[in-house]
Amino acid sequence: MCLSIPGKITEVYEDGSLIMGKVDFGGVLKEVCLDYVPEAQTGQYVLIHVGFAISVLDEDEAMARMDLLREIESFEEELNPDEIR
């Protein structure tokens, strides 16, 4: 359920009582509601579902996990270099 994709906030503004903003999905700009992520700032990545940001992506967590995964990868390469590619 729930198609939700990450985009980068390029603009934050108020529209009536709602915090709105523009989000860049790799070359496509869309207006979204940022009311559920009031702490989010320009430059941060948010998950968007039906025009609403539901989560600010945690860059540190993402980087840490990626590093861990890369470690597994290079470890496996050392173990059996022939099998990889």
Partner 1 sequence: MKDEFDFEGYTCPVPIKPNDTVVLGHGSGGRLSHDLINRLFLPELGKAAPRALDDSAIVNINGQRLALTTDSHVVSPLFFPGGDIGRLAICGTVNDLAMVGAKPIALTCGFVIEEGLSFEILQRVVQSMRDSAAEAGVYIAAGDTKVVQKGGADKLFINTAGIGFVESTINISGANARVDDVIIISGTLGDHGIAVMSAREGLNFETDLKSDVAPLNHLIAAMIQAGEIHVLRDPTRGGLATTLNEIAIQSNLTVELQETALPVKPQVHAACEMLGFDPLYVANEGKLVAFVKAEDAEKILSVMHQTRYGEEAVIIGKVVQTKNPHVRLRTAIGGTRLIDMLPGEMLPRIC
Partner 2 sequence: MKYVDEYRDPAQVKSLLEEIAKIVSRPWTLMEICGGQTHAFLHHGLDDMLPGEIELVHGPGCPVCVTPLEQIDRALAIAARPEVIFTSYGDMLRVPGSTVDLFNVRAKGGDVRVVYSPLESLKIAQANPDKQVVFFAIGFETTAPANAMAVLQAQKQNIKNFSVVVSHVCVPPAMEAILSSKHNRVQAYLAAGHVCAVMGYHEYPPIAEKYKVPIVVTGFEPVDLLRGVLTAIKQLEAGKAEVENAYERAVTLEGNLPAQKVINTVLQPVDRKWRGIGMIPKSGWGLRPEFESFDAETRFSVGEIVTQESPLCIAGEILQGIQKPPQCSAFGKECTPSTPLGAPMVSAEGACSAYYRYHREAVFHER
List of residues contacting partner 1 (CB under 8 A): 1-3, 5, 25-31, 48-50
Distance separating alpha carbons of residues 53 and 73, to the nearest angstrom: 33
Q: Partners of 11 in the beta sheet?
A: 22
Is residue 13 part of the contact set for partner 2 (CB under 8 A)? no
- Residue 47, C-beta contacts closer than 8 angstroms, at least 6 positions apart: 4, 5, 6, 53, 54, 55, 57
Picked from partner 2, partner 1, none, the partner binding residue 14 (CB below 5 to 8 A depending on kind) is none
Nearer to partner 1, 27 or 39 (CB): 27
From partner 1, partner 2, none, interface partner of 21 (C-beta below 5 to 8 A by class): none
